[in-house]
Amino acid sequence: MIIHLKNDVDKQIADTIASDLNAFLLYKDGKYVIVTSSHIKEIQENHQAYVDTFLNFDHDIQLSSRKYLQGTREIKIGDVIVGGCTNNTLLITGPCSVESREQIEQSAQLLKSLGLSTLRAGTFKSRTSPYSFQGMGSEGLKLLDEIRVKYSLKIITEVFDSSQLDEVADHADIIQISAKSMYNQASLKKCGKLNKAVLLKRSFGATLQELLQASEFILSAGNDQVMLCERGIRTFETKTRFTLDLCGVAWLKQNSNLPIVLDPSHAMGYAYGIPDLSRACMAMGVDGLMIESHPDPARAKSDVHQQLTHPAFIKLYGSLKAIADVIGRKIV
Amino acid sequence: MIIHLKNDVDKQIADTIASDLNAFLLYKDGKYVIVTSSHIKEIQENHQAYVDTFLNFDHDIQLSSRKYLQGTREIKIGDVIVGGCTNNTLLITGPCSVESREQIEQSAQLLKSLGLSTLRAGTFKSRTSPYSFQGMGSEGLKLLDEIRVKYSLKIITEVFDSSQLDEVADHADIIQISAKSMYNQASLKKCGKLNKAVLLKRSFGATLQELLQASEFILSAGNDQVMLCERGIRTFETKTRFTLDLCGVAWLKQNSNLPIVLDPSHAMGYAYGIPDLSRACMAMGVDGLMIESHPDPARAKSDVHQQLTHPAFIKLYGSLKAIADVIGRKIV
Amino acid sequence: MIIHLKNDVDKQIADTIASDLNAFLLYKDGKYVIVTSSHIKEIQENHQAYVDTFLNFDHDIQLSSRKYLQGTREIKIGDVIVGGCTNNTLLITGPCSVESREQIEQSAQLLKSLGLSTLRAGTFKSRTSPYSFQGMGSEGLKLLDEIRVKYSLKIITEVFDSSQLDEVADHADIIQISAKSMYNQASLKKCGKLNKAVLLKRSFGATLQELLQASEFILSAGNDQVMLCERGIRTFETKTRFTLDLCGVAWLKQNSNLPIVLDPSHAMGYAYGIPDLSRACMAMGVDGLMIESHPDPARAKSDVHQQLTHPAFIKLYGSLKAIADVIGRKIV
Amino acid sequence: MIIHLKNDVDKQIADTIASDLNAFLLYKDGKYVIVTSSHIKEIQENHQAYVDTFLNFDHDIQLSSRKYLQGTREIKIGDVIVGGCTNNTLLITGPCSVESREQIEQSAQLLKSLGLSTLRAGTFKSRTSPYSFQGMGSEGLKLLDEIRVKYSLKIITEVFDSSQLDEVADHADIIQISAKSMYNQASLKKCGKLNKAVLLKRSFGATLQELLQASEFILSAGNDQVMLCERGIRTFETKTRFTLDLCGVAWLKQNSNLPIVLDPSHAMGYAYGIPDLSRACMAMGVDGLMIESHPDPARAKSDVHQQLTHPAFIKLYGSLKAIADVIGRKIV
C-alpha cells in the first residue's frame, strides 16, 4: 500500500505511522509518503486522521508501477533529461571496459563527433572466470573522470558489490547495477540513499516482476532516479548470447513508470546482428539505447565479438536517427 | 554434402549415385543436385567423374544455408514475390480463426482498403484443450476460397497433421505449418512434394538449428518455396505469452537463405504491445509480418486478447509504412 | 465441468444434453458422463432432472485430475497391470530403434533374463534431420510382432502422425505418442477411439498444464488407458541433452490421476549419468521407467550416446530392485 | 593451465613465474602450484627448468575439474567430514530464517533427536522484495552462535554481499553463498582467503559451466574447502517454484571434484513434493542434502509453503536412511 499523508502531518507522526506498519517513509513534494507491504490492504483506525489518500496493490510492484504514477518518471543526468514529457532517447556508447587512456579518448571523440552525451565503460567487471581480465578498478575510474571533464561527457559505469558503490558514485553520472548483481540488495539499498541516477540492469535469469521489485529497493529508500535496462535473458537458444526480451519491454512500458534503456549488444553477443537489433530497439520507442563500440574490437580485453567498430557505429547512428525522426523521438 | 553433378549426367546415373549415398536427388536449373548427410565429407572415387562441384557442411543445415546460397531465396505467391532481389515485406493480416462469412469478409475488406495482398485465417486449429473451439475445418476452407476469388486475395492457412495437407493445399496460396507441428516430419515431407509456398513456423520449444533442419525436410524433397516464421519462444517469463526472439532473427538473416516472416501477435499475446513490437519487427528489415486482426476481438472464438481491432491495425499500418520507407523496404 | 447423469438416463437424452453443451459424452460403469468446457459452471435448468452429480474445475484439466478421481487410474497391458492399487513399476527397456532381427532378439533376451515384460523400440522415428536414419517403418513393426509372439513380451512403439496410428495399433501393446507430437491433436483424438494403452510423452517444450490437457483429448474421446511420460524439458542448460523435471513429477503425482512413467535416457542423453538418474526416478515412486539399452550402443543407428550396454543395464537393475524393495514397489 | 612447480622452487621464483603469467599462486602439499588462464597452452622456455608437471584445459574449469583431481575433494567441517573417501551424506536441516530463540532451539532439538550434525538458518536474507522480512541480521548470528555451543552443532548460514562476510565467517561453520549472489565475485574472492568450508549455491539462472567457474574464484584464491549446491534452475515450468536439475548433478559428478549438496526445498517450493524429491536426491548418491524444516511452517516469516513440519521431517528421515543403506552411503 502507498499512503500519502496529509500536508500538515509532521515528521514525528509520519515516523510513528511508518514504524507501526514496518514501512518505508518518503518525503516528496512537501508531504510524507508511506510504503508498506502490499499485503496491507486497509488503513488502521488510529492512522485515518492523518491519511490523505492511499492505493492498494496486488503485489510488491508499487512505487515503480504505472498504477501509482501514470507517466514515465523524469531522470536528470546533469543537463541531460530522459523520461517525463521529453521524447528523448539517450544513445549511450563506449567500450565494454576501460583499457587505456588512448582507447577511452577515442571513444570520447566518437561521442563528441556525433553530438552524443553519455559514455559507457566498465572498470569493476563482473566476469564469470577468475582467469579473465577483471577490469582496471579504481585506476579506470580516474581515467573516466579525466575524460568526463575534458570532453564534457556524462559517464555511466558499473558496480557489482556494495563495497564499490561509494567510490563509483564519486566518479559516475549514472551508476549501473550490473545484470549479475540485480539481486544484490546491499547495493540496491545503498543506491537508494544516493542522489544520483541509477541504471538497473535486469538479471538474465530474472522475471519482470523481480526486476521491478529490485527497483523498489532503490525507490523505497528514497532515490527515484531509476532507469531499467533490458539486456537479454537466458533461454534454451544458444546460437546467440542471450535473447533480447522485447515482449517484456512492451509489458514494462505498459506497467512501469520507470524509463527503459535497451542493451542489444549483450543480448546478441555478436557484432553482425547489432545494427538490425538496434533499429528494432529504437522502433520500440524507448528512453535509451546502450550499444558497445570499441576503437579496435578485435583487440578488446573483454566482449571481443560484440563491440562495433567506430565506422560501424557511425553508420548505424544514421539509420537510428532516421527511425527516431519517424516515430517522434529525439536522440540525446 | 551438396553435390552438383555435371550438366550431361543423366537421371539414371544420378539416381544410382543418390542411392549409393542414401541421399536426396533434386533437379534444378537443368542439372542434378544430390544432398547427403553432412557426415559425408569426400566424393567416392567411382563418383568423381560425374561431379561438377561439391560443398561440405559442419551439420545438417545445408540447402537452407547462406553458405550454399548467398542471397535470400525468391518465393512466388502468384504475382506477389518476396525474397530474392525484391525489398518486399509481405504484411499479412486477418483473424486467428475463420468464424463466419461476415467476419472474414470484413477482414478481406480491411486488406483491400490498405492495398494489402494476403489474408490469414485458420480453419484447422491446433488447440491445447479439447474443450475449446477447434476451428471450422473444411467448411472454413470453402469460405476462404470464396473470399479469395471475390477479393483477389492470397490466402494463408494452417495444417497440423499430414492428413489435412491435400485439402488445404487445394485451397491455400501459402500453407502454414503450425508451430506445434514443426516437428511433424510426415507433413514436412509431404510439403516437399507440393509446388506451393510453405510458411514454416518455429516451434516455441525449437532451437534455430532444429527450425532450419525442419526446413531441410521440405527442401530436400524438392520444394524450395519455403519461408520461416519466428513467433516467440517459451522462456521463464510469463507476463507475456511467449518471448519474440529477434536475436534469433538476426542469426537467421546471417546464416539462412530462406525469407523470414515475423509474428508478433502470438509472441506477445496481448494487443497493447503489438504496435510497438510490430514496428520493431519492421525495423529488423524482414521479408514479412503476420499480425492478427479481428473485426470484433472481444467476441473472437480464439486468441481473444491478442487480435487488433481494424482501426488499430489501420493506425499501425501508417507507422509501419513510415519505417519501411526509412529502411528501404516496400510493403506488399 | 464433469456431469454424471442419473443411472436411468438413456442414450438419446444423454446425446441431447451433450450436444446442447457442445460437450463430450462418455459411458462408464453403466452411466453416462458428460464433459464440457471448464468455463461452464452451472447446470441448465432443463438438464437438472437428469443430473446425478457434477464437478466444477478452474481450467481444462478435468478427467485427468485427482480432483475428479482420487487414486491413480489402472492401466491393463494384457496381464500386466500398472497404477490402481498395485504398487507396480513397469521397467521398460530396449533400443531406441529397431535395426535388425538379431539386435531386437538380443534385447528381448535381456528382458526375459531379468523377468521383465515390456520391450521398447521405435520404427517410425521422429528425427530432427532428414539426413539421419528415419526408422524401419512397417518392416520394423513386423519384426516387433514376431518378437512379441516368440518371447511373450509386451511391445511399446511410437507414432508421430495420425497416418501411422492404425498400423501401429495393430502391432503394439502400448502406443507411444512421441514427445515431438504431443500437440498433434489428430493423433490424440484418434487414440481416444482405440481400446489400447497409450503412453503420452511430454513435449520438451510443454508445460505440465499442456501435458494434462493433451491427455484430455484422449480421455474425452473415450479411452481412459493413458499413462504420462516425463522425458526431460528444454532449458538453458546444454551440458546435458535435456533437464529431467522431477519437480514436475511431484506435481503430477499430486494433481493427476494418470500413472507416470519416467524416461531418464532422453533427459540425460549420455549413458554415464543414466544409472544415478534411474535410481532417482525409482526413488520417486513412479509407475514406470523406460531406459534405453542396446546390444552394441556404439553402433546404434540413433541415440548412440545414451543407450546402456546390456551388462550395464543388468547391473543397474540390481540397484533399482533394491530401492524398489525399500520404498515398497514391485518391478514388473 | 595448472602448473606444478618442482619441490625445490622457492617462493620468490614462484611469485615471478605467476606474475609473468598473470596467474594465481597456490601452495599445497609442500609445493607451489600456478593456475593461469586456460588460453595458455605451453610453458615458456625460461620457466621450463622450474616446472614439474602441467595440465592443459579446454576452458576455465581447472582446479574444480575431475581432469585435474580424480576423486572428490575432502571437506572438513570440524569433526564432520564429507567427500574424499567417506561415503558420508551430510543431512542438513533447519528453518529458512532465524526468527526467535524458541524457534531455533526447537530446530536444534530436532537435529539432536536424529543424531544429525548441521543446522541451517539464514539471518542475512536475500529477498526479492523490500517489503518482506529481511532477516534478523547480526542478532540472528548471535543466536546461532549460542545454539551451536549449547547443542554442539555445526552451523551453515548465508551471505549475499562481501560486506557481510567477515561477520558471518566468525559465527558459521559453513558459509553459504546464496544462489542470488553466485556471481558476486567480491564475495567469492574474499571466501578464497578464508580457511572455512563454503557452500556455493548455483544461481537459478546459471549454467553448470558458470557454477564451476564461480568455484574457481574461491579455489584459485587458496581455499579448497568448497562444496556445490544445486537448488533448482528457472525454466518455463511455473507449477513448481524451480526445476531441480538432476541431469546437471549427474554431469557434475562426472566432471567436477567438488562435493555436491542438493536442496530440494527451494527447487520444489511446496512441502507436498519434498519427501519424494528428497528420496530421489539421496538415490543420486550425493554428498549432502539440505531440507528446510520449521517447528510451525504456517507461521514462518519466509518460505511458508516449502518447509516441512518436524514430524514430516522425522518420517522422511526414516526412508532416506533406508535408501542410504541400500546405495552404501552414511548419513551424518
A22 pLDDT tier (thresholds 50, 70, 90): very high
In this predicted model, what pLDDT tens digit does every residue of D4-48 receive, in sequence order? Answer: 999 999 999 999 999 999 999 999 989 999 999 999 999 999 999
pLDDT at B263: 98
Measure in Å the smallest separation between the Cα of A250 and chain B Cα atoms: 5
Does residue A326 form part of some domain? yes
pLDDT for C219 beyond 90: yes
Backbone angles phi, psi at B21, to 5 degrees: -95, 5
Whether C239 contacts chain A with CB within 8 A: no
* Nearest-angstrom CA–CA distance, A125 and A116: 24
* Nearest-angstrom CA–CA distance, A292 and A303: 9
Whether D19 contacts chain B with CB within 8 A: no
In this predicted model, what pLDDT tens digit does every residue of A196-209 receive, in sequence order? Answer: 999 999 999 999 99
pLDDT for A178 beyond 90: yes
pLDDT at A99: 96
| Domain identity same for B317 and B168 | yes
Q: Which chains touch B (3 or more CB pairs under 8 A)?
A: A, C, D
Nearest to D22 by CA among D7, D10, D38: D38
In this predicted model, what pLDDT tens digit does every residue of B251-283 receive, in sequence order? Answer: 999 999 999 999 999 999 999 999 999 999 999
Q: Which residues in chain A have their CB less than 8 angstroms from residue D38's CB?
A: 131
Q: Using the beta-carbon criterion (under 8 Å), do C132 and B60 form an inter-chain contact?
A: yes
Tell me the angle at which helices B310-327 and A310-327 cross, rounded to the nearest 10 degrees.
150
Domain endpoint, select from B55, B83, B100: B55
Does residue B326 form part of some domain? yes
* Nearest-angstrom CA–CA distance, D155 and D117: 9
Whether B239 contacts chain D with CB within 8 A: no
pLDDT at B252: 98
List all residues of chain D from 189 to 218 with a beta carbon under 8 Å from chain A: 189, 203-206, 210, 213-214, 216-217
Q: Specify the DSSP element, H or E, that contains C141.
A: helix C138-151
| Domain identity same for B90 and B35 | no
A126 pLDDT tier (thresholds 50, 70, 90): confident
Nearest to A256 by CA among A58, A70, A35: A70
In this predicted model, what pLDDT tens digit does every residue of D180-220 receive, in sequence order? Answer: 999 999 999 999 999 999 999 999 999 999 999 999 999 99
C293 pLDDT tier (thresholds 50, 70, 90): very high
Beta bridge partners of C31: C28
Mean pLDDT score, B172-199: 97
CB A255 within 8 A of CB A65: yes
CA B170 to chain CA centroid, nearest Å: 17
Beta strands C31-35 and B330-331 are: unpaired
Measure in Å the smallest separation between the Cα of C99 and chain B Cα atoms: 16
Q: Using the beta-carbon criterion (under 8 Å), do C205 and D251 form an inter-chain contact?
A: no
Residue D10: CB atoms within 10 A of its CB come to 10
Q: Which residues in chain B have their CB less than 8 angstroms from residue C129's CB?
A: 37, 60, 213, 216
Q: Using the beta-carbon criterion (under 8 Å), do A243 and B238 form an inter-chain contact?
A: no
* Nearest-angstrom CA–CA distance, B28 and B30: 5
CA distances from residue C146 to C142, C153, D134, D206 in whole angstroms, order as listed: 6, 10, 66, 49
| Domain identity same for C19 and C126 | no
Mean pLDDT score, C7-26: 96
Residue C53 makes CB contacts below 8 A (sequence gap 6+) with: C3, C4
Q: Specify the DSSP element, H or E, that contains A289.
A: strand A288-292
Whether C158 contacts chain B with CB within 8 A: no
pLDDT for D303 beyond 90: no
pLDDT for A303 beyond 90: no
Phi-psi region of C323 (alpha: psi -120 to 50; beta: other; left: phi over 0): alpha
| Domain identity same for C124 and C237 | yes
pLDDT for D104 beyond 90: yes
Collapse the DSSP code of B291 into the 3-class scheme (helix H, G, I; strand E, B; otherwise coil) and give the result.
Answer: strand
D126 pLDDT tier (thresholds 50, 70, 90): confident
Does residue C61 form part of some domain? no
Give me chain B's average pLDDT, please.
97
* Nearest-angstrom CA–CA distance, D156 and D241: 23
pLDDT for B303 beyond 90: no
| Domain identity same for C33 and C115 | no
Whether A239 contacts chain C with CB within 8 A: no
Q: Using the beta-carbon criterion (under 8 Å), do B236 and A233 form an inter-chain contact?
A: yes
Q: How many residues does chain B have?
A: 332
Q: Which residues in chain D have their CB less than 8 angstroms from residue A129's CB?
A: 37, 60, 213, 216
Q: Which pTM does this prediction carry?
A: 0.97
Does residue C196 form part of some domain? yes
ipTM over 0.85: yes
| Domain identity same for B200 and B309 | yes
CB C287 within 8 A of CB C259: yes
- Edge-to-edge strand ranges of the sheet holding C2-5: C24-28, C31-35, C2-5, C51-55
* Nearest-angstrom CA–CA distance, D201 and D179: 5
Whether A132 contacts chain D with CB within 8 A: yes
Measure in Å the smallest separation between the Cα of C235 and chain D Cα atoms: 6
* Nearest-angstrom CA–CA distance, A267 and A306: 9
Half-sphere exposure of residue A170: CA atoms within 13 angstroms, side-chain side: 7
* Nearest-angstrom CA–CA distance, D252 and C215: 35
Phi-psi region of C29 (alpha: psi -120 to 50; beta: other; left: phi over 0): left
CA D251 to chain CA centroid, nearest Å: 17
Q: Using the beta-carbon criterion (under 8 Å), do B238 and D234 form an inter-chain contact?
A: no
Q: Which residues in chain B have their CB less than 8 angstroms from residue D234's CB?
A: 236
pLDDT at C137: 94
| Domain identity same for B24 and B96 | no
Whether C64 contacts chain B with CB within 8 A: no
Q: Output the nine-digit C-alpha cell for A187.
A: 547495493
pLDDT for C165 beyond 90: yes
CB B313 within 8 A of CB B290: no
Q: Specify the DSSP element, H or E, that contains D113.
A: helix D101-113
Whether B323 contacts chain A with CB within 8 A: yes
| Domain identity same for A216 and A305 | yes
Size of interface B-C (CB pairs under 8 A): 113
* Nearest-angstrom CA–CA distance, D166 and A200: 27
Q: Using the beta-carbon criterion (under 8 Å), do B235 and D236 form an inter-chain contact?
A: yes
Collapse the DSSP code of B178 into the 3-class scheme (helix H, G, I; strand E, B; otherwise coil) and give the result.
Answer: coil
Give me chain D's average pLDDT, please.
97
In this predicted model, what pLDDT tens digit does every residue of C78-116 receive, in sequence order? Answer: 999 999 999 999 999 999 999 999 999 999 999 999 999
Does residue B67 form part of some domain? no
Residue C298: CB atoms within 10 A of its CB come to 9
Does residue D121 form part of some domain? yes
Q: Using the beta-carbon criterion (under 8 Å), do A238 and C235 form an inter-chain contact?
A: no
| Domain identity same for C185 and C242 | yes
Q: Output the nine-digit C-alpha cell for C247.
A: 519437480
Mean pLDDT score, A240-260: 98
**Per the structure, how many domains does chain D have?**
2
Residue A50 makes CB contacts below 8 A (sequence gap 6+) with: A5, A6, A9, A13, A14, A17
Decide: residue B305, CB within 10 A, 0-12 exposed, 13-18 middle, 19+ buried: middle
CA distances from residue A224 to C81, C159, D13 in whole angstroms, order as listed: 64, 58, 54
Give me chain C's average pLDDT, please.
97
Residue D76: CB atoms within 10 A of its CB come to 12
pLDDT at B294: 97
Q: Specify the DSSP element, H or E, that contains B220.
A: helix B208-220
Mean pLDDT score, A91-117: 97
Collapse the DSSP code of B253 into the 3-class scheme (helix H, G, I; strand E, B; otherwise coil) and give the result.
Answer: helix
Q: Using the beta-carbon criterion (under 8 Å), do B326 and A323 form an inter-chain contact?
A: yes
Residue D213 is part of which domain span? 74-331
pLDDT at B87: 97
Instruction: Quote the percentage of chain A above a pLDDT of 90.
Output: 98
Nearest to D228 by CA among D251, D202, D253, D209: D202
| Domain identity same for B268 and B306 | yes
Does residue B223 form part of some domain? yes
Domain with A185 in it: what CATH number? 3.20.20.70
Q: Which residues in chain C have their CB less than 8 angstroms from residue D268's CB?
A: 247, 250
| Domain identity same for C34 and C80 | no
Residue D164 makes CB contacts below 8 A (sequence gap 6+) with: A186, D124
Instruction: Quote the percentage of chain C above a pLDDT of 70.
Output: 100
In the 8-state DSSP scheme, what is residue A49? G
Residue D12: CB atoms within 10 A of its CB come to 8
DSSP letters, B13-42, are: HHHHHHHHTT-EEEEETTEEEEE--TT--S
Q: Which residues in chain A have their CB less than 8 angstroms from residue D181's CB?
A: 181, 183-184
Q: How many residues does chain D have?
A: 332
| Domain identity same for B209 and B90 | yes
Residue A298: CB atoms within 10 A of its CB come to 9
Q: Three-state SS string across C179-218, please?
A: HHHCCCHHHHHHHHCCCCEEEEECCCCCCHHHHHHHHHHH
Beta strands D154-159 and D118-120 are: parallel
CB A206 within 8 A of CB A212: no
Q: What sign results for the dihedral spanned by CA atoms A207, A212, A213, A215?
A: positive
* Nearest-angstrom CA–CA distance, D5 and A313: 48
Mean pLDDT score, A65-83: 97
CB A175 within 8 A of CB A168: yes
Measure in Å the smallest separation between the Cα of A236 and chain D Cα atoms: 9
pLDDT for C126 beyond 90: no
Does residue C47 form part of some domain? yes
